[in-house]
Structure 1
Amino acid sequence: MSALSPDAGETTAQQYDGYTTPPEFVIETGEDGYGFIKPDAFAAGFAADANQADAAFLRDTQVPINMSVFATKLDHAAWRTLPTWAVIATNDKAFDQRMLQDMAKRIDAEVTNVPASHAVYFTQPKAVADVIDEAAQQSTSRSR
């Protein structure tokens, strides 16, 4: 889902090379190295298709991001050996849309495009659940 897909030996930060994050998505990093999505831009950058109450709930319940994880190299990329699916939120302001599509192509994912924000799991749960169900069914049928 509108997420990063590094390969073994790569960092998640490297996934941004050559792409531009939309201006609506801003992570403010504190002196402790943890970041939060900027509160006054949260709805526009993360949950533009949520109602005000839900966007406020998501904003106020953020879990801090340890920004150092973006520099950690991946040891193993499961997508190299397992089938992959991608739910791409086409109105996602956390990532450059080209980046999401390019990553999905790179990992040979079965792509479902959903007109939603980065909070697609929250605003379009049925679309996400349908893809998870499809992936589970296909994975189960392959293991028999």
Structure 2
Amino acid sequence: MGVIVIGGGAGEADGPGFGEVLRGHRRAARLTLEQPAEVSGVSAAFMADSQVPWGVDALDGAVCEPAWQTRPSWYLVATDDRMIPSAAQRALSERAGATVTETPGSHAVYVSRPAVVAAVIAQAARAAG
């Protein structure tokens, strides 16, 4: 079985593209909100509304045996991602020894280009047997 990675990350805390998520009458968290040009306003609004803050305790998590060190990996570089620069994505995928596919698309490439994402998953499934 392989590992499939499709983006994930954060930008600058007070820069463009950030907004506040309100729960009740108090601010619950500041979350990254990017409206990709290729995603409709309705989809982008749903994506923003459905984000939840991740726990700071996650920073203390330790990975003892990263799967990418012992299993085949695939990585889809979204070349228009404003959250994780494509150069950083390429460096991460190279470190993992991943089979890389590149496509134009934002951080929400799985929404805007589902056929490309599905093709990468199918490629990984075929290779895994």
Fold in common (TM above 0.5): yes
Aligned to 2:124: 135
The Cα of 1:70 is off from its aligned counterpart by 2.9
Q: Determine the C-alpha separation between the residues in 2 that align with 1:137 and 1:91.
A: 28
Q: Distance in 2 between matches of 1:81 and 1:125?
A: 28
TM-score by length of 2: 0.76
Indicate the residue corresponding to 1:2 in structure 2: 7
Structure 1 residue corresponding to 2:78, chosen from 89, 104, 119: 89
Say whether the 8 Å CA contact 2:17–2:34 is kept in structure 1: no
Could you say which residue in structure 2 is the equivalent of 1:102?
91
TM-score normalised by structure 1 residue count: 0.69
SS of structure 1 residue aligned to 2:77:
strand
Question: When you count strand as a share of all residues, which structure comes out higher?
Answer: 2
Change (3 A) 1:49 1:84: same
Asked if 2 retains the 8 angstrom alpha-carbon contact of 1:104 and 1:111, the reply is yes
Larger helix fraction of residues: 1
Where structure 2 has 5 or more consecutive residues not aligned to the other structure, the ranges are 1-5, 22-27
Percent of residue pairs identical:
29
**Equivalent residues, number:** 117
1:35 and 1:67 in contact (8 A); partners too: no
Match of 2:111 among 100, 117, 122: 122
Shift of 1:111: 0.6
In structure 1, distance between residues paired with 2:41 and 2:68: 36
CA contact (8 A) 1:36 1:62 kept: no
- Alignment partners' CA distance in 2, 1:57 and 1:115: 22
CA distance in 2, matches of 1:25, 1:95: 13
Determine the C-alpha separation between the residues in 1 that align with 2:65 and 2:17: 28
For 1:101 and 1:59, the matched residues in 2 are separated by 26
- Does the alignment pair 1:68 with 2:50? no
